[in-house]
Structure 1
Amino acid sequence: MRARIALTLAGAVALAGAAVLTVTTAGSREGEAAGRSGGPVSLAPAARLLALSTRPGERGRLISVPVTDPGRSPTVSPLSCARFYAAAGTGLCLRLDGDLTTYQLVVLDADLTERRAIPLVGVPNRARVSLSGRWVTWTVFVTGDSYNGGRFSTRVGMLDTRTQELVPTLEDWTVTLGGKPYEAADLNFWGVTFTRDDRRFYATMSTAGHRYLVEGDLTTRKLRTLMENVECPSLSPDGTRLAFKSAVGGDPGRGWRLSILDLATLRETPLAETRSVDDQAAWLDDHTVAYALSRGRDRADVWQVPADGSGTPRKLLADADSPAALGWTS
């Protein structure tokens, strides 16, 4: 049994980003004062891009731009999150719980009305919603695992928004590595993406210094490894490919490269983005992926690149991260 304690704020800002330190109340008009438009933002089906602002004065606020004109000034919502994602009228906001040391996950409906809030043990890192809007999942940084010498670990949780079933961890699931049963004290999971059937998912697992792409089954509570050096997978809308990041030369210290994995052949296609991208990419449609690219402390932009390895990266939305596309078509 691993000894666990909640992660305090100390040392976490460098990992989770300073956006987690910004709380903006519903009555604030910082966005409007900075020349951005304020107004209602919803998750109803429409062709638009949602993201979290990294702009000073509105950092962490949910912003929205239309697909047809992503260069226009975004609409700024009162909602403030550290991480955000949305699909099919369901939103997931990972946010501060009021005192700068604790967090909570909040499930939102299409009007951004809170449906459920759950205390979150750890610092937010990733958020995802299944294509149907049924399942939400999150990854947090935690510390206190006895095997880890005080360093950070990652932990995944999931919630079925229909039944309210909570999956607090994947660490007690049955794992098969290389076709053989596997048990270890140092299992870490992060970066979940769901399949369209709401039964299976893909994620990253690390153990013994290796990182693996795993496929999980929510019915059987089993996980199996597929291949190494695949992190933060993101399933394409047609369910045939995964966008992912991989450590250059297998060494995270050298940065990450974005690629596409064909699930039928396990063939990898490096994307035209050659800069280091430390993000879980989001598909805009079956042909294009988006991702946040840091440009200095607390600042980032959302970029897009073709999913077939061609073309060149193009900036999609300035001063933003946590992109989620609604209503895009192939």
Structure 2
Amino acid sequence: MSLRGRVLLAAGLTATLLAGAVAYVIVAGNRDKAPAVAASVVDAGPGERLLFRSTASGSYGRVATVPRADAAGPRAVSGLACDRVYAAAGAALCLRPDGPLATYQLAVLDRHLAVKDTYPLVGVPNRARVAPSGHVLTWTVFVTGDSYNGGKFSTRVGMLNTATGETVDSLESFAVTRDGRPYRNVDLNFWGVTFDDDRHFYATMSTAGRRYLVAGDVTAQTVRTLAVNVECPSLSPDGTRIAFKEAVGGNPAKGWRLSVLDLATLRRTRLAETRSVDDQAAWFDDRTVMYAVRRGPKAADVWVVPAGGGGAPQLLIPDAESPAALWNSAQ
């Protein structure tokens, strides 16, 4: 960790500018032009509510909440628009475009979604999470320009501790242990962080054509592999299981299957959702996983499925994505 300035949140990523500009034009062109609904006062603090990004006509991209007990019912819609949003313990982060070209911004929010601070963020936003304490924010962006990757997209993970001001600019500088041995390779990529506490986290690491679930330690600046073919982990509220997407046959081109990993035994349970889900799932409660399913370039819905492998998927929040449960500090 370092106490470096906010500009370093974007350091090393300037090669993404041109690709990001193209991505921004595509995103901007897809924004809803329907009349926006009136903004409401939205509370992102702990409570019996679900926070999400709206994909509904008239409120596309804006942050909203619904009661847990009536998730398909009337929603409170804020005036804040984000590409990705997440909240825990009364703190939230918003990843959003900043300007007309290829720049993006990390906005640090309070429980009422008021912007407390902003940081430049170069790269196309992909994932966002907040530690259970509300102190540590993390994000994943797509970037280009890595020499080993032949012009394809790579990923970068950053972290910001709002209590101390410390930042992690990239997990690629952390010491890696793969299969019990020290490991280093130029092609290391990380994405999809989920927190246990302010120090310990889980994430996806890819190298040499394989994807791993890793356990990380921010203080020690280390990660170690736990299991293969685990992407976009999400730690359960009780800290015992990881919900994740698993590439079918180990090949992402064939799609992903939602599964749950028991951290004590490393036993995998495939969930009843059989559609390909390209999302970092979240936990509705200790027994239920929620996730977004896209049904078009702009349209998405949030669904739920039992975490034990039984039951069937059910629609939870129509016209929504990027969900977070606010009732506790669930990941």
Shared fold (TM-score, shorter chain, > 0.5): yes
How far 1:11 sits from its partner (Å)?
5.1
Shift of 1:73: 2.1
Match of 2:245? Answer: 245
Q: Is the 8 A contact 1:279 1:292 kept in 2?
A: yes
Question: What TM-score, normalized to structure 2?
Answer: 0.91
Question: Which amino acid is the alignment partner of residue 36 of structure 2?
Answer: E
Please point out which of 7, 15, 31 is paired with 1:5: 15
Residue matched to 1:180: 181
Letter in 2 for 1:95: R
Structure 2 SS opposite 1:224: strand
Moved over 6 A (4+): none
Contact 1:284 1:328 in 2 (8 A): no
Q: Does 1:61 align with 2:72?
A: no
> Which amino acid is 2:83 matched to?
A
Give the percent of matched residue pairs that are identical in Structure 1 and Structure 2: 60
Counterparts in 2 of 1:184 and 1:20: CA distance versus 1, 3 Å: farther
Number of aligned positions between the proteins: 318
- Report what 2:268 is aligned to: 268
Q: Which residue of 2 aligns with 1:145?
A: 146
Aligned pairs (5 A) from 1:140-289: 140-195=141-196, 197-289=197-289
Q: Distance in 2 between matches of 1:127 and 1:20?
A: 23
Q: 1:3 to 1:98 in 2, by over 3 A?
A: closer
Unaligned runs of 5+ in 2: 1-11
Q: Secondary structure at the match of 1:171?
A: helix
Structure 2 CA distance, aligned partners of 1:329 and 1:313?
Answer: 24
Structure 1 counterpart of 2:162, one-letter code: T
For 2:199 and 2:29, locate their aligned partners in 1 and report how far apart those are by CA, in whole Å: 31
Task: Establish whether residue 30 from structure 1 lines up as the match of residue 39 from structure 2.
Answer: no
Superposed displacement of residue 114, structure 1: 1.4
Q: What's the CA shift for 1:172?
A: 0.8
Q: 1:327: how far off?
A: 1.1
Q: Alignment partner of 1:98: what SS?
A: coil
Mapped partners of 2:190, 2:309: distance in 1? 28
* 1:5 to partner: Cα distance: 1.3
* 2:124 aligned residue: 123
Q: Deviations over 1:100-132 (max 9, x none)?
A: 421010111112121221100100000000111
SS of the residue corresponding to residue 31 of structure 1 reads: coil
Q: What 5-or-longer segments of structure 1 have no aligned partner?
A: 33-37
- CA offset at residue 54 of structure 1? 1.3
Q: Which whole-Å CA distance do the structure 2 matches of 1:131 and 1:290 have between them?
A: 18
| Residues 202/20 of structure 1: CA separation in 2 closer, same or farther (3 Å cut) | farther
RMSD of aligned residue pairs (Cα, Å): 2.2
Conserved? CA contact 2:88–2:329, under 8 Å: no
Is the contact between residue 3 and residue 145 of structure 1 (CA under 8 Å) also seen in structure 2? no
Moved more, 63-72 or 202-211: 63-72
- Structure 1 SS opposite 2:37: helix
In the aligned structure 1, how far is the partner of 2:329 from the partner of 2:108?
25
Structure 2: distance between partners of 1:223 and 1:66: 37
Partner Cα separation in structure 2 for residue 21 and residue 164 of structure 1: 35
By how many angstroms is 1:4 displaced?
A: 6.2
Give the corresponding residue for 1:106: 107
Distance 1:104 1:4, change over 3 A: closer
Question: Quick one: distance in 1 between partners of 2:35 and 2:325?
Answer: 25
Whether the 8 Å contact between 1:241 and 1:260 is mirrored in structure 2 is yes
For 1:116-152, what per-residue CA distance to the aligned partner results, in whole angstroms no more than 9, with x for missing partners?
2110010000000011111110000000011111110
Shift in Å, 1:57: 3.2
Q: Is the 8 A contact 1:20 1:81 kept in 2?
A: no
Once the two structures are TM-superposed, the CA of residue 58 in structure 1 deviates from its matched residue by: 2.1
Q: CA deviation at 1:13?
A: 6.2
- Residue 70 of structure 2 aligns with an amino acid whose one-letter code is D
Match for residue 18 of structure 1 among 23, 27, 43 = 27
- Residues 4 and 106 of structure 1, relative CA distance in 2, 3 Å threshold: closer
The aligned residue for residue 35 of structure 1 is none
CA distance in 1, matches of 2:29, 2:86: 15
| C-alpha deviation, 1:181, in angstroms | 0.8
**Quick check: 1:301 aligned with 2:301?**
yes
Q: Deviations over 1:242-301 (max 9, x none)?
A: 000010000101100000000000000000100000000000110111000011111100
Return closer, same or farther for 1:3/1:84 CA change in 2, 3 Å cut-off: closer
CA displacement at 1:329 relative to structure 2: 10
CA distance in 1, matches of 2:146, 2:266: 33
1:17-57 C-alpha deviation (Å, 9 max, x unpaired): 83796499xxx97124xxxxx41002122101111011233
Counterpart residue type for residue 60 of structure 1: G
In 2: Cα distance, 1:97 partner to 1:39 partner? 23
Cα drift, residue 10 of structure 1: 4.9
SS in 1 for 2:16: coil
Residue of structure 1 equivalent to 2:4: none
